[in-house]
Structure 1
């Protein structure tokens, strides 16, 4: 029987210490069983893997996807073409749920739907999982667990409802069908630009159709505007900019911008800007011989006194102490 050590799509990339507090980890699970379709499950994993690559190339990754293959007992699971994939077992670690859970399709779905261990586990984790989604025949497994498709429709609105209806009408091709739900999550987290890039790389001939299904009408959503403003803050943090400037970039009133930014990014615009400036400052302290006052001016912090106050408040050490410690750690 053929064997392949197929790894999940988690990226071996660790955010720098200056970025760690800003990067959220999204836990994605793909439930497999004997006789699953490798094509459908594999493309879902690849969507998140590609999104990680594109996101990590930015100055600040907004989130990173940790993708895991799961099965009842863990270990190697054979797909419908007899290729074996390594999986983690179903256990109490997962009772806290996931950001998204995909159930694989394939000819083994009928047997999986009769497996009480799978059914009970799904019932237990679904209430704490943001999105539960079937890949093709995987809907039989969800039906056996009494889990409908409304869970993701309710959370994602009309775009997801459209996708569910389309799949139920018999969408052509596991690969195309499987990409849609994963791309919708990427669009929510990272914006339409990243989801479009992922689609273009993985399925060039169908990228335009996929993006149109994801609800991009050519006008940026409020979330896309906020993320664009966040990127602008990141790219211009060394200049004497303000939150008012960022609100203008997003084409929003200052009040609405402050509210929407906190919802989308999890922190206020001023804190986001400060974190971006701190990241620049820390890099300059570690990699250059510039005096603290000049670094403060170059990083948008104003002057050395203000920088020192911020460092003591945020990092509990002075800029000079940070420089010494970071270089000591770099030299081992």
Structure 2
């Protein structure tokens, strides 16, 4: 059974670079259901163990709430959490929100909404875990069991997508088989059957964006989304309007822009955090796409933030040149 304190200890125990550590946040609210949180967290832990030393990615889990401290979840279970405000500046690979029956309060509440907005600004995926929306009596066990099955199914699919994007489909399936005693393949097959080629291409694009901070390739994205590289290259341009290599460069450019604007890290460190080898390659990317060096872009952003320079239409990023594909 998943225990909050153990999860935090596991997260604190992980050490390494951005490429080896994927920090996952679970945002808990009053009366939220812990079923989905338990399934996803245990599957992530199992995936880390299965990957071993053969894969760079490891997961660390952090439980959060608006005010921190103890949160009274569904069925009066009490969980200790950290405070959302204390994580400002922390980059998460993915955020799961266990919102309970009052999901609108999470989306519209000032504390949650502002935090989620900052998270989304860094292109971090935010997923809402299914809630126990209907309270039933003892006579309505069929309804209650149906709800539990739906919540479990949603959590399995969510865990599968995250692990598959980072480590591939085989590890994702094996991790879920080891942690969930239900028909995992049946639940996942319903997801696969409903995915069109366009859906898989969009999933590949999301995978590239989620993993742009690592030295990944187009072949890695194709494998993670159960496609051949040839098929991905064939349809990517039509679905997303660019090549996979150009899309990866744009994702790295977007992330670098955020880091330049919000941190004081030097260019070399930012280059490594966005999947590039050194500051020279980062500078080349910026000059070709934005017409500025990273240092000039940082100064320009600070001037905008302080109201010293207006935003002009011609400051929008240029298209990533075709010859940048070789750098992906």
TM-score by length of 1: 0.49
Q: Which has the larger radius of gyration?
A: 1
